[in-house]
Structures are given as structure tokens and as C-alpha cells.
Amino acid sequence: MNRRSLLATTTAALFAPAALRAQERVLSLYSSRHYDTDRELYDGFTRQSGVRIRLIEANADQLLERIRSEGANSPADVLITVDAGRLARAQEAGVLQRVSSPTLDARIPAHLRDPEGHWFGFSVRARVVMYDKALGLPAGLTRYEDLAKPEYRGMVTTRSSGNIYSIGWTASMLAANGAEATEAWARGIAANLSRPPAGGDTDQIRAVAAGQGRLAISNTYYLGNLARSQRAEDRAVAERMAVLFPNQADRGTHVNISGAGVVRTAPNREAAVAFLDYLSSQPAQAVFADGNSEYPVVADAQPSAFLRGLGNFRQDQLNAARIGALSPEALRIMQRAGWR
Ligand SMILES: [Fe+2]
């Protein structure tokens, strides 16, 4: 989801001494989000705090590499990514620092932030099953575990095993069911695929709309973004789809986060923490999440009309940090199971 290339940011100010940058009251935000609504949000922080936001956009791996190569002189104050796996990678790479904020601790649910405060989730996406309303949901399907059963042969369309969403999802299965059961499950998924894994979540939704499978595995926001697309054919696809939130009678539906942390070498640490606090405020939450059809993480912010239309659901409370820790094993299990 990171289509923009690295922006040129070789301005003199960027390389000015830290003290001078602090005087200028500029916060350097390295973001792999690319939504126009985010800009409105950043302007809101500037109005409130007087701190201007300098936005550096690229994909998460590029941003991480850039922070590492800039080293102690990095102007980066805050890193924002669109999944917990990449936040965990940034933490492992040592580029994030611990933050202790009473506001964040009070407002962000515990399972959506690093227990040590290296990063915080600011919006949630659920990994759900989407199906064609006209065909309905095949009988007996209520859990992720069911997707591996022989009666759903040829019905499942999903991304490749190497994709970070597949890895996070399988890591959640691993946490719930253990290695042996998860490998058997992954074999069942591989056996039930309607086609070899290809493309992103939107491609899985389109495949089901085109009859190439019955059950698309996708994050919720891809459907939300199709529903508000400028293109009539996208809206028509979204209109045909219904959503199953799996595992509602037990641990809940697997969720992932878009989140942020303060960079270890942040020249403006105080402003960086103030910015994270601001992102957890009720008005900022609604805008931040809605920019990508995601769920806010705080109880007092409303999801978009589209998400409200999908209904309430129970979230798996597994900590995003645990998902990050189990991810390497999850990938090995999927590969052993023949999930391409
Ligand atoms: Fe995505």
C-alpha cells in the first residue's frame, strides 16, 4: 500500500543542528501511510501545538533503512507504519524508543500497543472472510479453523504466504492452536485454494466477485475503499460482498494495526510524544482511521458509516507484539505446508 516513492527532502533545514530544529518547532514524520486525509490531521496538530509537520513518505522498509543510514543525525521524530509486523521489525532494529504516556496508556487498549511502549496502534483493521451475497456463506463456516476443512475445497482465495498479512494471521492461529494444529490448518488452506495465491486483498475480493472462489480473505478496509471508489465498477463489486467476522463465539476476529512510535534519536522527543497523544484524541482518531476505512482504537471515536454498516464484532485480544514475535515461525509453517 505504499505507492509513493521516496520524496526528495534534501532541504538545508533537515540537516541543521538539533537545537536549531527544535527552535523551528518542526516535527519530522516518517510515514508509510499515504492518505490525503492524513494531511488534514497533521494540520490539526499544527493548529493545536504550533509545531509544523514535515512529512517524509515511503514504504516501511525504505523508511526503516533510511533512519538506520541517517544514524545519530536522523531528523526522524516519529515513524508510522501500516502493520504491527513492521513496527516490530523497527523495534528489533533498535530505531524506536520507549515512551511512557498516561494519555496513551489510558486510551489505547493494551493489546494494541507494545507492552514496553515502543509503539502504539492508532487504527485497527480486521482480517475477515468476504463472500458474494447472492451465493451466501457456505453452511457451517464460522471460524478461521473451518476454512481448512475438506468441504470448502476450491473455495478459498488468499494472498501468498510471504505477505505480512498472511504471516500475521497465521501467527494468530499459532498463538491460539499451537504449531502442530497450525501446520495441519495451513495444509488445509493450501488444499482449499481456488487458485494459486496472487495479488493483494482487493484482488481476492475481485476474484470472488468474478466467481473464482467463494471466500476471499481480506482486511476490512479494502472493502471500505472499494465502496467509496471513484469507479462505478469498484462500487458494484463492494455492493455484492458480505463480511463474516470469524471466531465470534471464541477468541474473536484477528486484527492488525496501523501505528507509530518515537524514533530513538528523535531531535524533538517532547513534540513527538505530544503528537502521539494527539493521534489518540477523539477527533484525530476519527479522521486518522477514516482515511483508510479503518476502525478507531478509542471507545469515544465513531467508525465510518461503512464500518458501522458491517456491525460490531469481537476482536482477538492477542497482543500485536506477540504476533510480531511468532511471525518467523508462522512463515516457516506456511511454507512447509505448501502455501505458496
Ligand atoms: Fe494493506
Bridge-based pairing of strands 241-244 and 120-132 is antiparallel
Write the pLDDT tens digit of every residue in 28-38: 999 998 888 88
Backbone torsion region of residue 25, taken as left when φ is above 0, otherwise alpha when ψ lies between -120 and 50, otherwise beta: left
Q: Quote the longest CA-to-CA distance of the chain.
A: 65
Whether 46 has a pLDDT exceeding 50, the answer reads yes
C-alpha 293 – ligand 1 centre gap (Å) = 11
- CA–centroid distance, residue 203 to ligand 1 (Å): 12
Ligand 1 centroid distance, CA of 218 (Å): 9
What's the alpha-carbon Rg for the chain, to the nearest Å? 20
DSSP 149-166: SGGGTT-EE---TTSHHH
Distance 20 CA to ligand 1 centre (A): 37
Q: Summarize pLDDT for 264-301 with one digit per residue, the tens.
A: 999 999 999 999 999 999 989 988 888 889 999 998 99
- How far, in Å, is the centroid of ligand 1 from the Cα of 182? 24
Residue 222 CA to ligand 1 center (angstroms) comes to: 7
Span 83-104, mean pLDDT? 92
Amino acid 24: pLDDT: 62
Following DSSP, what letter does each residue of 231-273 receive, concatenated? SHHHHHHHHHEEEE-TTTTTT-B-EEEEEEEEBTT-TTHHHHH
Task: Give the residue ranges of DSSP H helices in 29-144.
Answer: 36-49, 60-70, 84-92, 102-107
How many A from CA of 62 to the centre of ligand 1?
16
CA of 236 to the centre of ligand 1 (A): 21
Q: What's the CA-to-centroid distance between 217 and ligand 1, angstroms?
A: 12
Q: Please write the tens of the pLDDT for every residue from 129-170.
A: 999 999 999 999 999 999 999 999 999 999 999 998 999 999
Question: What's the pLDDT at 35?
Answer: 83
User: What pLDDT, on a 0 to 100 scale, did the predictor assign at position 23?
Assistant: 57
Cα-based torsion angle of the residue sequence 31, 169, 121, 222 in order, rounded to the nearest 10 degrees: 60
Tell me the average pLDDT across 37-63. 93
Q: Domains in the chain, ordered, with CATH?
A: 12-124+256-304 (3.40.190.10), 126-253+320-336 (3.40.190.10)
For residue 292, the CA-to-ligand 1 centroid distance in Å is 9
Residue 102 Cα, ligand 1 centroid: separation in angstroms?
30
Q: How far is the CA of 188 from the centre of ligand 1 (A)?
A: 25
Which of helix, strand or coil describes residue 218?
strand
Is residue 2 scored above 90 in pLDDT? no
Set of cell numbers at residue 148: 481448512
